[in-house]
Amino acid sequence: ATTAPRIPSTRLALHHFDTSYSLHLGALWPSVRAGLLCEQKYGALLNNFAAADHVPQELELLNATDFISEARQKVQQWQRGAAARGCQEGSEMSPPLCASISSKIKCYTFPRGDITRFRPARPDSLGLLDYYLMDAASLLPVLALNVQPGDFVLDLCAAPGGKTLALLQTGFCGHLAANDVSVSRAKRLYEVLHSYVPKEVRDTVSVTSYDGRDWDQVKGGTFHKVCVWELVKISLLNRHSAMEEHNNIFHKRRTKERQMLPMLQLELLMAGILAAKPGAELVYSTCSLSPLQNECVVE
């Protein structure tokens, strides 16, 4: 063991990905693999609380577009087409996609193949930053949660704060409980809220650092909407593991920790379910491609 060459954790991660995901994803894996190894590309989540009406026009001049409004238009086209097919064929239509939340959230991205970087966010006259840079795909579980006016929302793994900020952009949260087990990450969440959200809105948010697995013992059966997403931030079993040696979950000393992730995620999901009111909705979303952490946990 002392004389054998040390294999970097990133190489171990890629070997694991190639072995397992090539079987799971088939012909899609080469393009997914290339995406994981490319430089990360961000979207700009507009801050509705900032006085920044000029920002959309500024971003559009750079050839960026709001991918959410584009998606909403495509859904509406699909629904019209499905309605026409249903009339002709007598087939049942899928339920319409609720667009009430997406109309309030705007996130600009550059076209495929365009790796232009967004400028750093700028403060308005009150000091609130005009947009938040994040992975645009991270907004998909926020949209799926479909928050309605007055909902009590639990964000069980909230830090660093992008999805929490997106939930507040809807203007619908009656109360938002933002929890993260890491005290240092919860401090980062505080910083995001103070940089983007006015005090009167921050007063509707409670930031805590409980172990998410015990949340049902704190406030069980009280929430209309529960978010359990990117459960174990330290794992980042895709891009981070393939690109960064620091804090890499594929380090040989962390094998047992990595193997226990599905069980930890299952416990968090169960706590989220127990924290919800009868008839509530929960979104479970991870940052992993592994079926063990996704389909198997849900089953």
Query: Residue 227, annotated ligand binder?
Result: no
Phi, psi of 224 (to 5 degrees): -80, -35
Which active-site residues does the annotation give? 287
Query: Residue 160, annotated ligand binder?
Result: yes
Query: Residue 159, annotated ligand binder?
Result: yes
Query: Residue 151, annotated ligand binder?
Result: no
Beta bridge partners of 109: 65
3-state secondary structure of 283: strand
Beta bridge partners of 155: 178, 227
Beta bridge partners of 178: 155, 207
The secondary structure element, H or E, covering residue 18 is helix 9-25
Query: Residue 180, annotated ligand binder?
Result: yes
Separation between Cα atoms, residue 79 and residue 87, nearest integer Å: 12
Query: Do the beta carbons of residue 58 and residue 123 sit within 8 Å?
Result: no
Query: Residue 158, annotated ligand binder?
Result: yes
Query: Residue 162, annotated ligand binder?
Result: yes
CB neighbourhood size of 216 (10 A): 17
Annotated binding site for S-adenosyl-L-methionine: 157-163, 180, 211
Annotated binding site: 157-163, 180, 211
